[in-house]
Amino acid sequence: MFEKMDEVCRRFEELSIRLNQPQTAAQPALLRRLMKEYRELNPVVDAYRNYNSAKDHMAQAAELLQEADALDAEFKAMVQQELCETRQAVAALENQLRTMLLPRDENDGRDVIVEIRGGAGGEEAALFAHSLFRMYSMYAQKRGWALEILSANETELGGIKEIIFSLNGSGCYSRMKFESGVHRVQRVPETETQGRVHTSTATVAVMPQADEVEVTLDMKDLRIDTFRSSGAGGQHINKTSSAIRVTHLPTGMVVECQNERSQFQNKDKALEVLRSRLLAQKVQQQQSEQNAARHGQVGTGDRSEKIRTYNFPQDRVTDHRIGLTLHNLDGILNGGLDPVLDELCAREQAEKLKNLNGDGTAAGRGV
């Protein structure tokens, strides 16, 4: 662990120097990336400094106790108490450092792009997709994240067939990555006349945002088409062909953006989504032999493929991956996702701790 900490400290000092260099300030993308890494390492370095300080105090107290004959009884008791407390502090700081040095997803510090689609259940599924978008919007507001809608396809009744949006802020991917999958709702739909409970689904895909330097798009691999925006109707539909459809020929990925008023803005948003999808695909390929991360995340949308159930009659939310059930449906749908995500983060951390060797490195690879 201490060899790793020395490496972290060296990297922290290197970042401190690079961030103060004029050539770094002249490259905004590089500056953002280095600043993000600096902020991530800062608490680790602070904890290590506190750990070393506590060890020094412990060594001083132990040295005093070796001179026991020269100490009066009261002062000796005080030193023994200080030594005991310092040992506890050192142990706590060591455990904290082990946790901070756990293998982490390299994408945890990234912003994200989220795609929500109505699954099984027709119009009720579209209404549920809207409820999920509202939940994430309110959660983003609580976390201080910036949300930007990139593309939306609404229904006449106020539901969402598909919506794509970005979330920018500290810890976006580290929290939102647990939301990928099929979400199931059990409730009486607004369109139900006999009061029967229906089961519907919506799919959520969460992808880390890709920087342009990470995923380079060759314009020869793209087919870009323009068309008129469509939607549920009304005055907001564009009368000009400002909507953009980008097809990535090598993979067949298609991205449409129509929320902005100009072709150039919609094109930029579409390319941003495409880069993130390609990065997500690359990450998924590293983890498995699947070709598309987005398809692997959301499945088919069938009712049996679920990560979480929202049951309105019983005021219950159940996350099936960890067997967690909470009776606070309204609170969760109003953006109170932290109780669920905290448990998912804790499980991920516990699994990583199980794989740690005694020296603080992960089994089979360094931290």
∠ CA 331-179-44, rounded to 5°:
95
The residues pairing with 148 across neighbouring beta strands, listed in sequence order, are 166
Which tokens go with 252? 């067949």
Asked whether residue 362 is assigned to any structural domain, the reply reads no
Q: Both 80 and 165 in a single domain? A: no
Asked whether residue 298 is assigned to any structural domain, the reply reads yes
pLDDT the model gives residue 237: 46
- Cα–Cα distance measured from residue 152 to residue 259, given in angstroms and rounded to the nearest whole number: 7
Q: Both 160 and 242 in a single domain? A: yes
Which tokens go with 154? 């609404």
Q: Residue 204 carries which side chain, given as an amino acid letter?
A: V
Look at residues 101, 133, 161 and tell me which one is the last residue of a structural domain.
Answer: 101
Q: Both 167 and 298 in a single domain? A: yes
- Cα–Cα distance measured from residue 281 to residue 207, given in angstroms and rounded to the nearest whole number: 9
Which tokens go with 303? 């009712």
Q: Both 19 and 157 in a single domain? A: no
Q: Both 189 and 76 in a single domain? A: no
Q: Both 14 and 159 in a single domain? A: no
∠ CA 246-268-118, rounded to 5°:
60
Q: What is the CATH number of the domain that holds 68?
A: 1.20.58
Look at residues 53, 80, 101 and tell me which one is the last residue of a structural domain.
Answer: 101
Which tokens go with 68? 């026991």
Distance from chain centroid for Cα 101: 18
Q: What is the CATH number of the domain that holds 304?
A: 3.30.70.1660
The length of the chain is 367
Asked whether residue 357 is assigned to any structural domain, the reply reads no
Look at residues 40, 70, 101 and tell me which one is the last residue of a structural domain.
Answer: 101
Asked whether residue 106 is assigned to any structural domain, the reply reads no
Asked whether residue 131 is assigned to any structural domain, the reply reads yes
Q: Both 141 and 203 in a single domain? A: yes
Asked whether residue 240 is assigned to any structural domain, the reply reads yes
Asked whether residue 359 is assigned to any structural domain, the reply reads no
- Cα–Cα distance measured from residue 184 to residue 172, given in angstroms and rounded to the nearest whole number: 23
Q: Both 20 and 160 in a single domain? A: no
Alpha-carbon distances, residue 163 vs 180, 205, 267, 322, 366 (angstroms) = 14, 11, 17, 28, 39
Reading the chain (367 residues) residue by residue, the pLDDT tens digits are 666 788 888 899 999 999 999 998 898 888 888 888 888 889 889 988 998 898 998 888 888 777 766 567 777 788 888 888 888 988 888 888 877 777 677 788 889 999 999 998 889 999 999 999 999 999 999 999 999 998 888 988 889 999 999 999 988 999 999 999 999 999 988 767 677 899 999 999 999 887 655 567 888 888 988 877 665 444 444 455 678 888 988 888 888 888 777 788 888 888 888 888 888 877 777 655 433 444 555 555 454 569 999 999 999 999 999 999 999 999 999 999 999 999 998 888 888 777 654 444 443 333 3
Confirm if 100 and 47 have CB atoms less than 8 A apart: yes
Global pTM reads 0.65
Q: Both 206 and 67 in a single domain? A: no
The secondary structure of the chain, three-state, reads CHHHHHHHHHHHHHHHHHHCCHHHHCCHHHHHHHHHHHHHHHHHHHHHHHHHHHHHHHHHHHHHHHCHHHCCHHHHHHHHHHHHHHHHHHHHHHHHHHHHCCCCCCCCCCCEEEEEEECCCCHHHHHHHHHHHHHHHHHHHHHCCEEEEEEEEECCCCCEEEEEEEEECCCHHHHHHHHCEEEEEEECCCCCCCCCCEEEEEEEEEEECCCCCCCCCCHHHEEEEEECCCCCCCCCCCCCCCEEEEEECCCCEEEEECCCCCHHHHHHHHHHHHHHHHHHHHHHHHHCCCCCHHHHHHCCCCCCCCCEEEECCCCEEEECCCCEEECCHHHHHCCCCHHHHHHHHHHHHHHHHHCECCCCCECCCCC
* Number of domains forming the structure of the chain: 2
pLDDT the model gives residue 286: 61
96 class by beta-carbon count within 10 Å (0-12 exposed, 13-18 middle, 19+ buried) = middle
pLDDT the model gives residue 293: 44
Domain extent for 144: 112-347
Q: Both 310 and 210 in a single domain? A: yes
Q: Both 190 and 44 in a single domain? A: no
Q: Both 137 and 20 in a single domain? A: no
